[in-house]
Amino acid sequence: MVKEFIRLSSLYFRSSYFFRALKFTLAALFPLVTLGLLGYSEIGIPLAIGVFLNAPSDIPGSLKRKVYGILISSVLTMGVSFIVSLSNPHYWLLLAVISALTFSISLLAVYGFRGSLVAFSGLLAMILSLAHGVTSIPLWLHILLIGVGGLFYLSVSLLTHRIIPRKDEDQLLSDTLSLTGDYLEVRAKLLTETTKRDQLLRKLFTLQSDISEKHEVLRELLLTKAKRGKKSHSDEKHLLIFISMVDILELALANSLDYPKIDSLFKGHEKRLDAFKEVNLAFSSHLKKVAECMITKQGIPSKEPMIRALTTASKAIGDFVEQVGTPHAQEGGIILKNLYDYQTLQLQKIRTVRRALTNVRKESQLSIKSKHAHQFITDQDYGFNIILENLSYKSPIFKHALRLTTAIIIAYIFGTALGIKNTYWILLTLIVIMRPNYGLTKERSINRTIGTLIGAAIATLIILLTQNTIVYGVLAVLSLLVAFSLIQQNYRSAAAFITINIIFVYSLLTPNAFEIIQYRVLDTFLGAVLALIANYLFWPNWEVMNLDKILTKSIRANANYLFAIRHLYRTKETADVQYKVPRKEAFLSVSNLNAAYQRMSQDPKSKQKSSDLIYEIVALNNTILSTLASLGAFIQHHKTTEESVHFKKIVEHIGTTLENSAKEIDQIDIHPSNLPENIDTAKANLKSSYESLIKEREAELQRGQIALEEEMLNNLQEAHLIYNQLIWLKVLTEKLEVAAQKYRHRCAA
């Protein structure tokens, strides 16, 4: 227990989350404490406010975007603070200003996550200006000092980046390695835990979405440098680890199997599957340990457990064949051999990560060429036309801006009319909790309320035990530090520490601490309830309304991935951007679909229209992606025969079926000329090729040739995998088309 506590504490204090929180806390305290001791508190306070307002945009990403984000945030917070402060004495003018500012600032969320954080800074500045009383310095100086505080924080951020330039990269790589380990663990359980597969598949959807989010940030961080041709050895090392992690994810997806068929083939021989399950569990454990090593900088764990597990799996193939006997064991044996090959490749990728971490320089030769790097980066368009395109009721951000504006105005009128003390706390709760979709708003409302209650209870207990202001000051600083270090990992705990911080800050300023606790809890509860009501009643944005575009995008991305695999199979070229870019787009599109489905599942049951059908389409898209990854990974790492005309026809059939499925969801009528051709002959010929190899092998056995030559083994593996995966894809895409037709009819009803 003690050892585990020390391990977790070490990871926490070495994490970039704690480092970023420490940077923010020290940057805010420095002007406050230093100028306060010199007798210039009236200057130190707005400087600290400037730091507080402009820190949110300091998130992982390219340095250029980070600098622009903080600069734009500084200008925005200064302007908003000035306008609201001037309007404050005039109630009706203030209402109009709040409405206009809330709506216009909220629209900045169309520029992605960083844009939403800049918007949060602007809204936060507006609310703090409502609470801003008369000070001993002129308004213009107060506003100027807020801007200086923002620039001061930017300077601190740039300085720390220069001293420790790869802190965020290390953390992101570590988080991604850990999530990939979780993914492999779930994949392992899928192989044998037959009664839990639906639950495990849903967990995979979430994990794949989380991994893809990390991949996108890493692409921005790492490939921007590659794009500019400015790479140190450390940059190349990190890039190599990232590329290997993408390959590991592809191979993990490639391990997805036709589980009902597996259950049938290995009934009574589940022990042989356990050996392969243990390999994935060994890989998972190793990746999680490596993830910790990236943070703690300790030695890389031994690779021996992985090698032992893989050796046991290899032996399990022979045991299965010996126990079942030929020729009955042939199909099961080939499946196990393919699975073993994938896991062998997986071990190679993991060892590449290990070598990169131990600074083996020759590995850096595998990094992406700078001229191709831009093709892997998802660029965010920051043009004003994006705002104009979203000035539509169809835009979720537009509806969110309207909803938040309405909720803010209702809360302000309600609070001021009833004379609620610290009405701005209700408004603050609204901007923190409210999100464009109902499910996330509900989740944050619950976590915020529970966290506030926990924080209030802890603060009450401490106040009952001591009235020492030094203790209050120390706890206020420590709780602020902990709150900001946890805000991305555990929002409920962060809310508890934020409450503790606010209570102790007010306890230093006012003698009646219990009144502050009471109002804090009440205002948070009112804000959380209003946020939920607003999301449900005012221009609701149920996730099902936005699914059509996400569904069709994922289907078409899978189709593009299929044709990239076919190109690879036909040309026998080394996998390059023509293969890797469509693969990246397919992974990302399906992950976005998974995330959208998770959000939909958090909406009220009455608003989840056709949820069963949507889940079927989501599951089919994921299975299609896994099957494609299996084909792609095999073709990349095995010597294959020439493309046959039968292969070509079946691929074209699958591609047409995918496109027709997308058209059904888009409610586009399908012209008869676009219907897929009958491919029964091609299917029969492809099967015949596989069966002829089986007969050839059986003839070898009858002649007493027990040993399987490598060429025959490769041909058998290829014929088995190509035939089974293509036919499986055909079945899956035809099921998808039927589901898409049902979905279209339900939407039209």
In this predicted structure, what is the pLDDT of residue 696? 63
- Write down the pLDDT at residue 691: 63
Q: How far is CA 552 from CA 98, 559, 623, in A?
A: 39, 11, 16
> 605, exposed or middle or buried, with CB in 10 Å at 0-12, 13-18, 19+?
exposed
- Of 59-68, 111-120, 219-228, 452-461, the least confident: 219-228
Q: In whole angstroms, what is the distance from residue 426 CA to residue 444 CA?
A: 15
| Cα distances (Å, whole numbers) of residue 390 to 345, 395, 401 | 45, 5, 11
Q: pLDDT higher for 163 or 5? A: 163
* Under 8 Å between Cβ of 596 and 208: no
pLDDT at 451: 93
Least confident stretch, 143-152, 176-185, 485-494: 485-494
Predicted structure pTM score? 0.86
Region of residue 378 (left: phi > 0; alpha: psi -120 to 50; beta: else)? beta
- Which of 101-115, 349-363, 586-600, 711-725 is least confident? 711-725
| CA proximity to 459, closest of 542, 518, 539, 522 | 518
pLDDT in tens, 426-471: 999 999 999 888 888 999 999 999 999 999 999 999 988 888 888 9
| C-alpha to C-alpha distances, 346 to 194, 258, 305, 416, 690, nearest whole angstrom | 24, 20, 14, 62, 27
Q: How far apart are CA 739 and CA 612, in angstroms?
A: 10
Distance of CA 734 to the CA centre of its chain: 30
**For residues 16 and 166, is the Cβ–Cβ distance under 8 A?**
no
What element of type H or E holds 208? helix 197-218
Specify the higher pLDDT residue, 573 or 336. 336
Per residue in 239-263, pLDDT (tens digit) is: 888 888 888 888 888 766 777 777 7
411: nearest Cα among 521, 503, 539, 523: 523
Give the pLDDT band (50/70/90) at residue 171.
very high
Q: Where residue 364 falls among pLDDT bands split at 50, 70, 90?
A: very low
User: For all residues of the chain together, what is the average pLDDT?
Assistant: 85
Structure tokens belonging to residue 104: 């216009």
What percentage of the chain has pLDDT greater than the value 70?
89
* 8 A C-beta contact, residue 212 and residue 587: yes
Asked if the model's pLDDT at residue 394 lies above 70, the reply is yes
pLDDT classification of 97: cutoffs 50, 70, 90: very high
% pLDDT > 90, the chain: 36
Average pLDDT over residues 406-417: 92
383 vs 728 pLDDT, higher one: 728
Q: Distance between CA 434 and CA 408 in Å, rounded?
A: 11
Residue by residue, DSSP assigns 22-83 as: HHHHHHHHHHHHHHHHTT-HHHHHHHHHHHHHHSTT--SS-HHHHHHHHHHHHHHHHHHHHH
Those residues whose C-beta lies under 8 Å from the C-beta of residue 702, and which sit 6 or more positions away, are none
In a 3-state reduction of DSSP, which class is residue 299? Answer: coil
Long-range contacts of 742-747 (CB under 8 A, 24+ apart): 742/613, 743/610, 743/613, 743/614, 743/617, 743/664, 743/665, 744/664, 744/665, 744/667, 746/609, 746/610, 746/613, 747/548, 747/610, 747/667
For residue range 114-146, list pLDDT tens digits in order.
Answer: 889 999 999 999 999 987 655 678 889 999 999
Q: Residues 130, 427: contact at Cβ < 8 Å?
A: yes
Residue 151 has pLDDT above 50, yes or no: yes
The predicted pLDDT at position 531 comes to: 92
Residue 181 pLDDT exceeds 90: yes
Q: What is the pLDDT of residue 183?
A: 93
| Predicted pLDDT at 135 | 65
Please name the residues in contact with 123: beta carbons below 8 A apart, sequence gap of 6 or more.
Answer: 101, 102, 105, 106, 431
| Mean pLDDT score, 365-381 | 51
Find the mean pLDDT for residues 630-641.
81
pLDDT tens digits, one per residue of 292-342:
998 988 888 899 999 999 999 888 888 887 777 766 677 777 788 888 888
470 burial type by CB count under 10 A (0-12 exposed, 13-18 middle, 19+ buried): exposed
Q: Among the listed ranges 9-23, 348-362, 559-573, 577-591, which one has the minimum average pLDDT value? A: 348-362
H/E run at residue 601: helix 577-601
**What is the mean predicted confidence (pLDDT) over 157-184?**
92
3-state helix, strand, coil in the chain (%, to 5): 80, 0, 20
* pLDDT of 175 higher than 90: yes
Which pLDDT does position 365 carry in this prediction? Answer: 45
Spatial separation of the C-alpha atoms in residues 316 and 322, rounded to whole Å = 10
pLDDT at position 270 over 80: no
Q: Report, as an integer, the average pLDDT of 98-105.
A: 96
Asked whether the predicted pLDDT for residue 8 surpasses 90, the reply is no
Burial status of residue 550 (CB atoms within 10 A of its CB: 0-12, 13-18, 19 or more):
buried
Structure confidence at residue 363 (pLDDT): 43
- Residue 432 to residue 408: CA distance in whole angstroms: 12
Banded pLDDT at 108 (limits 50, 70, 90) = very high
Whether residue 277 has pLDDT greater than 80 = yes
What is the per-residue pLDDT for 360? 53
Domains and CATH numbers, the chain: 1-165 (no CATH), 169-372 (1.20.58), 394-541 (no CATH), 549-748 (1.20.58)
